[in-house]
Chains A and B, each alone.
Chain A
Amino acid sequence: MSDQPIVEVRDLRKTFSVKHAGGVSTLHALSGVNFEIMRGETLGLVGESGSGKTTAGRILVGLVPAGSGSVRLFGHDITGADGKVQLAKVRTRLQFVFQDPYASLNPRMRIGSAIAEPLDIAGGLSRKDRNDRVAELLDLVGLPKTSIDRYPHEFSGGQRQRIVIARALALNPEFVVCDEPVSALDVSMQAQIVNLLLDLQDRLGLSYLFIAHDLAVVRAVSTRVAVMYAGSIVETAPKSQIYSDPQHPYSRALLDAVPRADPDYVRHPVVSGEVPSLLDPPPGCSFHPRCPFAFERCRVEVPILKESGPDRRVACHLFA
């Protein structure tokens, strides 16, 4: 592990304009997000709908332009004036794995062509080298070589996700954003895909940003975990600590909410209320309307993500 982070996100903000009957409103998808990812590391980015986790992931691979703030990938700032040029330089070093394996493969494209697509776009490979590489990738993700001439609908969700992963790995990326890659899969398939991602990380030295909507799967894959709520990161910590000692009340609520496969488990009281509207976020800490520990300061002052222990940070006035 080198000291330079391969991904460095600083004060990333993003708003979307939402048209509705009464005019146009501004949706605050990301309001000042900071994180970095070191080589070989997996950052688990956890949050519920509206937390901004998917937007953050998409900005990282250039699918969504950043609003303000900066994103540096391998030292190249993709958010500056020449962002597109900088992004093009690192394009082949990053990839994205989508949530829905049914939507992420073109139904009219054979598996071989789908996996070869990044190779074809990059160009420069002979026909034979290209086909060899496709066969090698299929092997890497545990699919038979006969899959090449078949169409996506002949595969189950779990197999499709393997195909999507093979495609993502075609150009030997160093960093892969995985946007809820197992959320749409059956339990028995989830475990297979998670293990595959872990094996690939070991073999190829990949770094991941692993986006998830609950804390369960993240435990198995992450080195560090960042919890997001309503467009901000509320806590980051090494994996072991976020589970044994969550600091932010939302992290705790999120952890408590995961249903345990244990009939004797006694559940903590469930957090009340819902995620605030991002069109009209509450003043102060965005979690304060639901927080059992909220006090006056939480209602007026936005908490900043601050050091709260070795290698961990929390955005909560309780830890000020």
Chain B
Amino acid sequence: MTDVGIGAPATAAAIAAPRGHGTLRRLLRHRSFLIGFTIIALLAILALLAPLIAPVDPSAMRVRFRFRPPQAAFWFGTDQFGRDIFTRVLYGTRISLFVGFAVCVVSGLCSAILGVIAAQFRRLDSAIMRLMDALMSFPAILLALGIAAALGPRVSSVIIALTVAYIPAGVRIVRAAALTVREMDYVQAAQVSGASSLRIVLRHILPNCFSPLLVHLTFIFAYAMLAEAALSFLGVGIQPPIASWGNIIAEGRDYATQAWWVMLFPGIAISLAALSLNLLGDALGDMLDPRLKGGE
């Protein structure tokens, strides 16, 4: 029989484990979390306030200002129809963040439900997991491309397509976490007291699967934004004249040599958003790592 805990080599991590005090406070001290969070928050504010900030209408065509390079009047330059790229990128942020967020929420919910069902009700496990394996055997972007093409070019179909494409990974993460949690003594303690399956799932399993899922979803947010850009670039995503980062780049592709700025600025926006979400995810991963959390 093992003597759990006693005399385990006291590593720096174990000693350093903070006792008490919320995750939030520690997150706010984490540099990459702060950077990631600030950028995303800034983008979100810009997106929300787009109509107030934007100098012009995003679809307004002013042919006499075609292909203007970045300058005081047009910060990011203009495209072949004389539309202001800054305004379009700003409005594109709305679409990108919305798609990313929606995919996160919907795929997160589905992953949590399916993952916990697979872990808790073992008879459904193989059926659910084989379905997930089948979905996973396609490259996510190809799957999304197919679904988006089938559903027609709309924001909603992009969200559905990406949700379906990203559910399997989430389900696996939740299921793995749930399988670990259901073996924990506190779950067994609840069983000894006669707790129902539902109670065990809601009170014990779900709350303890939340951390790994949350970390996963920040990455899904980034992937979804990138994938939306890719789908729009490929023509099955957000359709012009609505601006999205992907279709601004797609439209600028033909003029890349003469008007580099058309592709550059939405490109920077995509990278920046993806990078900050990844920073956020890494920081959450660090913070929620059980080894850094002492007794938890």
Contact = CB atoms under 8 A, between A and B. Distances in A.
Determine whether A and B are in direct contact in the complex, meaning some CB atoms lie less than 8 angstroms apart: yes
Interface stretch (B3-11, B87-95, B139-147, B216-224): B3-11
B5 A117 contact: no
A155 B296 CA distance: 11
A280 interface: no
Main secondary structure of the interface of A (DSSP, over half): loop
A106 B203 contact: yes
B66 interface: no
A183 interface: yes
A74 interface: no
B188 interface: yes
Contacts of A25: none
Nearest to A150: B20
B20 A153 contact: yes
B30 interface: no
A153 B294 contact: yes
B43 to A, nearest CB: 31
A108 B6 CA distance: 24
B5 A106 contact: no
B189 interface: yes
A245 interface: no
A150 B22 CA distance: 11
A121 B295 contact: no
Interface string A55-66: 000000111000
A153 B190 contact: no
Contact of A122 (B191, B194, B295): B194
A91 B203 contact: no
Interface string A68-106: 000000000000000000001001101110111011111
A118 interface: yes
B64 to A, nearest CB: 61
B194 A98 contact: no
A117 B193 contact: yes
B138 interface: no
A167 interface: yes
Given A121-B199, A184-B3, A96 B188 contact: yes
A217 B199 CA distance: 36
Interface string A248-267: 00000000000000000000
A59 to B, nearest CB: 12
A221 interface: no
Given A63-B191, A153-B293, A153-B296, A102 B4 contact: yes
B1 A108 contact: no
Contacts of A98: 185, 188-189
Contacts of B295: 102, 107, 152-153, 155, 160
A153 to B, nearest CB: 4
Interface string A296-318: 00000000000000000000000
Contacts of A88: 194
A183 to B, nearest CB: 6
B186 interface: yes
A99 B19 CA distance: 22
Contacts of B296: 107, 152-153
B55 interface: no
A180 B1 contact: yes
Contacts of B184: 103-104, 106
Nearest to B1: A213
Contacts of A92: 194
B192 A106 contact: no
A121 B193 contact: yes
A4 interface: no
A105 B1 contact: no
A279 interface: no
A48 B190 contact: no
A160 B208 CA distance: 19
A91 B194 contact: yes
A48 to B, nearest CB: 7
A185 B199 CA distance: 30
B20 A99 contact: no
A192 interface: no
Contacts of A52: none
Nearest to B18: A153
A178 to B, nearest CB: 12
Contacts of B294: 153
B243 to A, nearest CB: 42
Contacts of B193: 91, 95, 117-118, 121-122, 171
A157 interface: yes
A108 B199 CA distance: 15
B4 A100 contact: yes
A63 B1 CA distance: 19
Contact of A106 (B194, B204, B210): B204
Interface of B: 1, 3-6, 19-20, 184-186, 188-196, 199, 203-204, 207-208, 210, 293-296
Given A100-B4, A121-B196, A153-B20, 17 more contacts: A61-B192, A63-B188, A95-B193, A98-B185, A98-B188, A107-B208, A109-B203, A117-B193, A121-B194, A122-B194, A153-B296, A155-B295, A180-B1, A183-B4, A184-B3, A184-B6, A186-B6
9 contacts: A48-B1, A96-B189, A109-B203, A150-B20, A152-B295, A153-B20, A153-B296, A155-B295, A168-B189
Interface of A: 48-49, 61-63, 88, 91-92, 94-96, 98-100, 102-109, 114, 117-118, 121-122, 150-155, 157, 160, 164, 167-168, 171, 180, 183-186, 213
Nearest first, the 5 closest Cβ-Cβ pairs linking A and B are A104-B185, A213-B1, A118-B193, A98-B185, A184-B4
